[in-house]
Amino acid sequence: MRRALLAITGLAAGTTAMVVLKGSPGTSPVAQDLPVAPAPVVPAPAGPTPAGEDVPAAPSPERTSASPRPGRTATRAPASRPSGTTRTPSAPRTTTKAPPPAPTTRTVTGPVVENEYGNVQVQITLRGSRIVDVVALELPEETAQSDQRSEQVDGRYSGSSGLVVQRQSADVDTVSGATATSTSYKRSLQAAIDRAN
Amino acid sequence: MAPGPDPGGGPSATRPGLRRVEQVMGTAISLNLADDLPAAELHELAGDVFAWLREVDARFSTYRADSEVCRVDRGELPLAAAGADLRAVLARCADLWKATDGFFDAYATGRLDPSGYVKGWAVQVASDRLLAAGAANHCLNAGGDVRVRGRSSTGRPWRIGVRHPWDAMSTCLVLAGTDLAVATSGVYERGHHVLDPRRAAPARGLRSVTVVGSDLGLADAYATAAVAMGPAGIGWLDGLPAHRHAVVTDDARLLHSTDLPLA
């Protein structure tokens, strides 16, 4: 996760857009209207990118949100570098996070884009033609530079305000969680693991 | 559920070891012994583990009126006459009360309830005993509090997922290690049931706290205390020596120590 964060930061160095989706409770959302048909979203490879912003190195207070729902908090969209090559998504991931209210909400997953820092895959959620959420499904893991940046930028944490919590690989031997009752155990991943063994 | 032979431990298993799940202490306890030992020996080791956990439940449960804890609480059993285990547990609870600035409180409910430490401690003791008995590769998970040692039967370090706070079937983080205690406290299970003992009100701000260390009793108590602290718990966890942590806030942010043993 830490690496992911720095990866974002690293990417930002030569990169294009940053989308701050939602401000703090008091401020108005900064979500942008999508000018064009939002077909499968590829983090705009090359092309005339409007004045790319650098990811702020310091924690930005507007990146926190009081929204109790997952995936609705502010997040940044890593964009590909111009040199990026595209390959088809290896394993399309599913999400169940579509926020309940509002008109036609849909989720679009972009392809995995390779760049010099590693692979990036982004998923966006649209309500009408408005982007309401962006989640990075895959981010580069290993680069010396991003590690370095991470130390500079993040101090001891994965992020000043943290990354939006995401789903991870289910390839585990056991699960740590607050499993208080036998009923909740039956519905847990741990129970599924136990049954499989 | 019921004790007895487990299919995982039979000769049909392609991987060595034994897996068994039982309901003890009101929760499911999953044991995975990964050592390539004779089946009879594995069954005996597993039997010892669950016998110990049932013994702890009988002596420490606040739901059993005849438990040592309840008898001490009612004043029927003088502390000095209680078992050495209970006295040690209560001493640790007192230490934890100080170490957490009062946020871990065995008297938070108004009566003696050391459960926040007991489960992790009991699992830690069971794991220590397995190690001493020659079962150096095992994973014991009691209601989401996990102690792993050595490697799984696949030969790789144990991989421990941290439950996604909004999805019981997903993980939000994967840890790996050969000697870890991993405890998670969260409000997603029973609502905001963790009390802030200072305000006597439900704690808010942190949806899930995972603490990684070497002693499961401590890790569990620290995780519970941090949930009770709310957002301030993040800074407190960061100052905790020899422990790593991961926190998911109520607004779905994931933060963790940079040196968390990620898989």
Q: What is the mean pLDDT of residues A143-163?
A: 43
Give yes or no for residue A23 having a pLDDT over 50. no
Q: What is the mean pLDDT of residues B25-38?
A: 94
Contacts of A156 in chain B (CB under 8 A): 238, 257-258
Q: What is the mean pLDDT of residues B130-157?
A: 96
Confidence of residue B41 (pLDDT cuts 50, 70, 90): very high
Give yes or no for residue B13 having a pLDDT over 70. no
CB A178 to CB B164 under 8 A? no
CB B163 to CB A189 under 8 A? yes
CB A189 to CB B170 under 8 A? yes
By Cβ distance, the residue of B163, B175, B258 closest to A177 is B163
By Cβ distance, the residue of A156, A166, A173 closest to B32 is A173
Residue B176 touches chain A, beta carbons under 8 Å: no
Instruction: Assess contact for B235 and B205: CB atoms under 8 A.
Output: no
Contacts of B251 in chain A (CB under 8 A): 64-68, 73
Confidence of residue A116 (pLDDT cuts 50, 70, 90): low
Which residues, in sequence order, are CB contacts of A66 under 8 Å at separation 6+?
A24, A25, B251
Residues 4-63 of A with CB under 8 A from B: none
CB A67 to CB B252 under 8 A? yes
CA B184/CA B210 separation, integer angstroms? 4
**C-alpha distance from residue B115 to each of B69, B78, B106, B224, B233 (Å):** 10, 20, 8, 11, 20
Q: What is the mean pLDDT of residues B28-32?
A: 95
Return the higher-pLDDT residue of A140 and B59.
Answer: B59
Question: Within 13 Å, how many C-alpha atoms sit on residue A175's CB side?
Answer: 27
CA A14/CA A84 separation, integer angstroms? 12
Which residues, in sequence order, are CB contacts of B195 under 8 Å at separation 6+?
B108, B109, B201, B202, B203, B228
pLDDT computed for residue B188 by the predictor: 79
Give yes or no for residue A55 having a pLDDT over 50. no
Helix (H, G, I), strand (E, B) or coil at B41: helix
Residue B183 touches chain A, beta carbons under 8 Å: yes
Instruction: Assess contact for B214 and B223: CB atoms under 8 A.
Output: no
Residues 68-127 of B with CB under 8 A from A: none
Contacts of A136 in chain B (CB under 8 A): none
Return the higher-pLDDT residue of B111 and A26.
Answer: B111
CA B58/CA B176 separation, integer angstroms? 33
Q: Helix crossing, B84-99 with B115-132: angle to 10°?
A: 120
pLDDT computed for residue B223 by the predictor: 95
Instruction: Assess contact for B257 and B215: CB atoms under 8 A.
Output: no
CA B223/CA B119 separation, integer angstroms? 13
CB B258 to CB A175 under 8 A? no
β-bridge pairing B253-256 and B244-249 = antiparallel
Residues 117-146 of B with CB under 8 A from A: 139, 141, 143-146
Smallest CA–CA distance, residue B204 to chain A, in Å, is: 11
What is the DSSP code string of chain A? -HHHHHHHHHHHHT----------TTSPP---B--S---S-----SS---SPPPPPSS--GGG-----STT-S--------TT-EEE--SSPPP-----SSSS-EEEEEPPEEEETTEEEEEEEEEETTEEEEEEEEE-----HHHHHHHHHHHTTBS-SS-EEP--B----SEEES---SHHHHHTSHHHHHHHH-
Q: What is the mean pLDDT of residues B217-244?
A: 93
Which residues, in sequence order, are CB contacts of B223 under 8 Å at separation 6+?
B183, B184, B185, B209, B210, B211, B245
pLDDT computed for residue A51 by the predictor: 39
Closest alpha carbon within chain A to B163: A177
Smallest CA–CA distance, residue B105 to chain A, in Å, is: 19
- Mean pLDDT for chain B overall: 90
CA B50/CA B240 separation, integer angstroms? 32
Helix (H, G, I), strand (E, B) or coil at B125: helix
CA B163/CA B208 separation, integer angstroms? 9
Burial tier of A3 (Cβ tally within 10 Å: 0-12, 13-18, 19+): buried
Q: Cα-flanking dihedrals φ and ψ of residue A107, to 5°?
A: -115, 135
Closest alpha carbon within chain A to B153: A173
Within 10 Å of residue A46's Cβ, how many Cβ atoms? 11
Name the residue with tokens 């929204």: A67
Give yes or no for residue A30 having a pLDDT over 50. no
Contacts of B28 in chain A (CB under 8 A): 179, 182, 185, 190-191, 194
Contacts of A133 in chain B (CB under 8 A): none
How many CB contacts within 8 angstroms connect chain A with chain B? 199
CA A106/CA A111 separation, integer angstroms? 16
CB B167 to CB A96 under 8 A? yes
Nearest alpha carbon to residue B249 among A132, A31, A158, A8: A158
Helix (H, G, I), strand (E, B) or coil at B46: helix
CB A158 to CB B254 under 8 A? yes
Q: Model-level pTM?
A: 0.64
Smallest CA–CA distance, residue A119 to chain B, in Å, is: 18
Return the higher-pLDDT residue of B159 and A111.
Answer: B159
Q: Specify which residues B142 forms β-bridges with.
A: B29, B145
| H/E segment holding residue B184 | strand B179-186
**C-alpha distance from residue A15 to each of A10, A19, A34, A43, A150 (Å):** 9, 12, 20, 10, 17
CA B94/CA A129 separation, integer angstroms? 57
ipTM value: 0.88
Contacts of B208 in chain A (CB under 8 A): 177-178
Instruction: Assess contact for B246 and B151: CB atoms under 8 A.
Output: no
Contacts of A150 in chain B (CB under 8 A): 258
Residue A98 touches chain B, beta carbons under 8 Å: no
